[in-house]
Structure 1
Amino acid sequence: MKRMIASISAVTAVALVTGAPAHAQAQAAPADPVKAVKSQFVPGKGVRFSDRSTMIEDGQGQPYLRRTGSFQFGRGGIVASDISSQSAHPADDRLNPHVPERTIRIGTTSYSQGGTYRDQMPRGKSWYKDPGGMTGGAGGWFSQLVNVAEPTTLTSLLKGAKKSRTTYSGTTTFGKLAKVSPWFRATLPLRSSDKTVVTFKLTVDRNHLPQRLTTSFPVVGIFDSTGWEGKTISVETRFTGWGSRVSIKAPPANKVTTKLEDRDGL
């Protein structure tokens, strides 16, 4: 009898031990996308993403911008980003003053290279430092304005959104985003109307982390100009490598300037 009890105890102990990891895994993948994103906030970790922007007019879409980038996390959320952008047709970069462009942002300080700054750099310098700079330079205006790696932004989007299996869809506005999103405020510090409606569709993966985000908004929400009337920007963002190691550093100090000038006037 003692042997039988000992055997049963041993089997029970093994079952408890082997069952623990499965339970732990279930706990590590919260069903709530906001909690799932917060669980990724580990210093030195992050996520990669890519954007594809399309300009739509009269129902016809034309590829406009492409971006690749990464977010580095700290315990409280995003602490740094590194984003590069170019025209959807690189040969046309010379026709678009916004690209090619790269912006590194650490805290609230941005370092920008190329784009609208390319002809304003002092000789020997290639990066412009702005203590309160934008997240993605001028190209960011035509790219992803909605950052679902921000818990406050994601919470705002999901409130009232329609859910279908792993997809959430709905609308928000520039004004709502400006209230909850540091990313939006830093990406689009100036805009023509906070009433501008942004349509979104978010798909999450099996761990309930953002996988694909599409948004669209009228360009006149940014520029109140007749030249932009009837034009809409549609952006598709895909996220990969949640929890991967990400280390974003400032450019070499000897390549950085805080003053812009007209090189032709030197």
Structure 2
Amino acid sequence: MKRVIASVTVATAALLVTAAPAQAAPAPADPVKALKSRLVAGQGVKFTELSTMKEEGKTEPYLKRTGSFQFGRAGIVASDISSKAATPVDPRIGQHNGMFAPGRTIRIGTTSYSQGGTYRDKMPSGKSWYKSPDGMTGDVAGWFSQLVNVAEPATLATLLKGAKQTRDTYTGTTTFGRLAKVSPWFRATLPLRSSDKTVVTFKLTVDRNRLPRQLTTSFPVTGIFDSAGWEGKTLSAETRYTGWGSRVSIKAPPANKVTTKLEDKDGLP
């Protein structure tokens, strides 16, 4: 009888061990390692964004953007970003009207396809996309949006180095110069700028998987334009990331809608 009981006990214990649910691997404590673990071909992340302009203590909404990044093993291989004015814009505002006009940029590798925005009145008949090898990530609207891309491991590492951490939030500063050294995204977004010494203040919050959830940055606009008209103005951008690991497939526009020539009616900005 004792042998029978012992056999039943051993068998039951073995069954319980086999039936026990597998424990999920703990999320990496380091956000950079967590990000690298999500760099899977065919997957990516989505984001929404609002930039604001501050002058003389008054803050105004500036631009809204939505988009997605597609990953490969080495990092971002494609992006698709749409932008528009955050508030209704007077069509008579002149030189900035093109920036505030709804626009979209698809970037695959280093080739950009731009629609609307500053190109809205420049397209030849029948064409709606302007193709630019080594093009920008978001047309001129990109200059006044989120310049810092924490979906790049090297960029994320640069921010976290020396940052102050409080639970899931990191705060600190970096500069245009540091970003230019490590970030292909930054260089393509802002190919020309007035000063690499421009200081960027940031606040980054990560989720329970240590992946970026929200990034807020701010910097003086004179870092882009060395002009008296921009003195005292500060641009801030708040970006929220969702769907890490979701399937993302970004493709070039139809070839018959693409042009590499513009009808420069009024002159590009």
Range class of TM-score, shorter chain: over 0.9
Alignment of 1:168-187 (within 5 A): 168-187=170-189
Query: Which residue is equivalent to 2:104?
Result: 102
Give the length in aligned residue pairs.
Answer: 261
Query: Which residue is equivalent to 1:114?
Result: 116
CA distance in 2, matches of 1:264, 1:65: 23
C-alpha spacing 1:82/1:94, structure 2 compared with 1 (3 Å): farther
Query: Which residue is equivalent to 1:49?
Result: 47
Contact 1:84/1:101 (<8 A) preserved = yes
Query: Which residue is equivalent to 1:18?
Result: 20
Alignment of 1:52-67 (within 5 A): 52-67=50-65
Following superposition, the deviation at residue 168 of structure 1 comes to: 0.2
Runs (4 or more) in structure 1 with deviation over 6 Å come to none
Classify the secondary structure of the residue corresponding to 1:97. helix
Q: Which one has a larger percent helix, Structure 1 or Structure 2?
A: 1
Contact 1:211/1:239 (<8 A) preserved = yes
CA distance in 2, matches of 1:121, 1:84: 18
Q: Quick check: 1:71 aligned with 2:69? A: yes
Structure 1 gaps, min length 5: none
**Amino acid in the other structure paired with 1:77:** G
**Amino acid in the other structure paired with 1:25:** A
Query: What is the alpha-carbon root mean square deviation over aligned residues?
Result: 1.8
CA distance in 2, matches of 1:207, 1:102: 31
Contact 1:121/1:263 (<8 A) preserved = no
Contact 1:66/1:87 (<8 A) preserved = yes
Instruction: Give CA-to-partner distance per residue, 1:158-188, whole Å, 9 cap, x none.
Output: 0000000000000000000000001000000
Following superposition, the deviation at residue 59 of structure 1 comes to: 1.3
Classify the secondary structure of the residue corresponding to 1:25. coil
Contact 1:46/1:244 (<8 A) preserved = yes
Contact 1:93/1:100 (<8 A) preserved = no
Classify the secondary structure of the residue corresponding to 1:250. coil
Q: Quick check: 1:137 aligned with 2:124? A: no
TM-score under structure 1 length normalisation? 0.93
**Amino acid in the other structure paired with 1:256:** V
CA distance in 2, matches of 1:16, 1:76: 38
Instruction: Give identity over the alignment, percent.
Output: 72
CA distance in 2, matches of 1:187, 1:74: 20
TM-score under structure 2 length normalisation? 0.92
Following superposition, the deviation at residue 41 of structure 1 comes to: 1.1
**Amino acid in the other structure paired with 2:84:** Q
Contact 1:46/1:246 (<8 A) preserved = yes
